[in-house]
Amino acid sequence: MPNGQRIEVLDSIRGLASFSVVIHHTLIATPIFLAAHYHESIENNLVKVLTSSPLHVLWGGHEAVLLFFVLSGFVLSLPFLNQRSPKYSQYLIKRICRIYIPYILSIALSAGLLFLLNPSNISDLSDWFNGMWSSSITGKTIFSSLLMLDYHVHNLNTVTWSLVHEMRISIIFPILIFFIIKYTWRKSLLIGIFLSLFACIANVLVYRTIQNDAVFLLVTSLSSTVYYTNFFIIGAVVAKHRHQIIPKIKRLNSSYKFTILAVSLALYCSEWIIPKLGYYKYNGDIIQTTLTTFILDLIIMTGIIILFTLVLSSSTFKKILLNRYLLGLGKISYSLYLVHIIVLLSIIHFFKYDVPFGILLLIVPIISVFVAILFYKYIEFPSISLANRIVNNKNRSDSKTIVATRYSIKK
């Protein structure tokens, strides 16, 4: 099957993952689901079932972000692996326009609505929710947002922490892919795991030694970027070896494939199926938290890799995922990721005195999809088109320069 179709299938997965992030944030806006998220003791049986079972896949926010990182590594590597490596300048222009322009406009939109709605604390909702739009915008916030420094992101658009790392890793990705192409998959995986371990050790040392808040935030942000580089590497390694992996899975019968699917989802939800590990992730000391996070993320990543290879190998799963509605969700997935927090905050603060919170939270995912469609049409797609125009104009300019040079040499 052509590469483009494979990517379409993965786009549907990206869309579903993005929607699961929307559900995740909508649910943890309530105190009971936030407590469940931190593995605190919960008496509500429905919340227990939705949390500590594979059903958590429906609202696995952290897991979805790891999936985005692996998927980025997979997709970004394809041109390099297919001998169609773009010029670095062209690659960088496309990544900046693709990521940065929608990102910064979402920040501006959130800042504008913060100013207009003048929100206040809502006691019925969670501390996580009330931490957003809770402080005024300062020059430091603007400076940090413009340069993607990962400072105070929760106040304006909490999801943008991941875009900081996405942008940084994208900048160095052509260097990473050079080594991934050169080395065996074992060496590449070892390099990725080493980077994550190095970042974990750095975080522990920084936590124990650095007292200055600004330096602490900067160093931990950079070490997090190093940590998440591993997931890009894994995605690229899977892309490199997909032609060897996929035929082996294709030969399996349907029962084996559904068993593999169940295993991948269990690994994906490992934090919630093994709640003791999840508890230490949020409630242990710095070493316990760091080590548990590292182990769980490796398990989740394994589940993601299995899922990717499975859907690329199964005609049944492809048929399901190539549904036009899922493809449409995949198309707007980045816009949905960017705007849903703004929709959540706007709806709650605008209607908080007139409509029960339960109803408001129910309509947030639906409204988010419609707003994402508009954001994609008027912000994201024009940003992509702008990148293509800049690259095409640069190519034409370069071609004219080459022709003119050749003509002058002949003369």
Residue 357 lies in a domain: yes
pLDDT of 74 = 96
Domain that includes residue 243, residue range: 3-406
pLDDT of 298 = 96
pLDDT of 2 = 43
Alpha carbon distance 357, 132 (integer Å): 17
pLDDT of 34 = 97
How far CA 231 is from CA of 41, 195, 333, in Å, comes to 32, 10, 19
Residue 240 lies in a domain: yes
Tokens of 58: 């429906």
pTM, full prediction: 0.93
The fraction of the chain above a pLDDT of 70, given in percent, is: 94
Residue 246 lies in a domain: yes
Alpha carbon distance 155, 166 (integer Å): 20
Q: 362-411 pLDDT, tens per residue? A: 999 999 999 999 999 999 999 999 999 999 887 776 655 555 555 555 55
Residues of the chain where predicted confidence (pLDDT) is lower than 70: 1-6, 397-411
Residue 128 lies in a domain: yes
| Domain count of the fold of the chain | 1
Residue 411 lies in a domain: no
pLDDT of 400 = 57
Residue 209 lies in a domain: yes
